[in-house]
Amino acid sequence: MFLPERILQEKLRKFLEEDLGQGDLTTFLTIPKDVVVDAEVVAKERGLVAGVEEALALCGSLSLQAKALVSEASAVEPGTCILRIAGDGRTLLSTERILLNLLSRMSGVATLTSRLVGRIEVAGYKTRLACTRKGAVGLAYFDKKAAFLGGGDTHRLHLDDMILIKDNHLKIVGSVETAVKKARAAASFSKKIEVEVTSIEDALAAAKANADIVMLDNFSPNEIRKTVASLEEEGVRRKVLLEASGGITEENVLEYAATDVDIVSIGEITHSVKALDVSLEVVKVTR
């Protein structure tokens, strides 16, 4: 996951402009123009840090001098200093919330992803963990990058990343076979075709129609096992990747990983993430 620094800075400045409105009224009325400060961004709880690059880019775009004391995807304990920042006091205070929001959210995504990936690996399964496109509008790049830093799969980054035929596509087109055939006939060789199914019959149809990936949507672990057995009986199990999605949480992820699916995707990684607790503290004031 990489963006040229100028493009990244443009994304970050849009967040800042939205937050500032016509300007930081509190800072304008209380902080003199000539105040220079040193500050530290500190982790308040254990986790995996993500968003360091973004924090440095934001500070750099505003002429704040920032130094990272930990690298991306580093495990931190409470009290760990993540960044040191020096520069104009007004600018730093006006930037603080955007910087912390992004750093804490990305670190939260990376922390949860890493924990889930670790549980799967310790249990001895080779199932890949993926996030989904469910999340806050405007934060897709940052959420996906954080999941990647946590060891997860990013799944689709955008709608043009792959062909994912979902339930509403099937309702309009009419059948799994027809939808896959239409997509296969016109798509580039570089695009994989995935079909979301809700029954064993449609899973078999998708595999036989030469889909690359079959998404088992809201299947129970037992239903997935029955589907895998049916695919094996028909000799098509190894022709497709199987993705389990829907209703999968941290509490039951191992039950799904044990079913022989290739991928489990979990929406809560991005749509309900708990942000890592981080704070910014001014440690020196120079007038």
List residues with catalytic annotation.
Answer: 134
Supply 118's token pair: 């670790």
Q: Contact, 224 vs 216, CB < 8 A? A: yes
Residue 94 φ then ψ, to 5°: -75, -15
Rounded distance, CA 191 to CA 51, Å?
Answer: 30
Q: Contact, 69 vs 124, CB < 8 A? A: no
Query: For the CA atoms of 40, 41, 43, 48, what is the dihedral angle to 10 degrees?
Result: -130
Closest CA to 40 of 62, 66, 15, 9: 66
Supply 213's token pair: 């990936």
Q: Contact, 125 vs 260, CB < 8 A? A: no
> According to DSSP H, which parts of 62-193 are helical?
89-122, 140-149, 167-173, 176-186
Counting other chains too, the contacts that 184-190 makes at CB distance below 8 Å and 24 or more residues apart are 184/210, 187/163
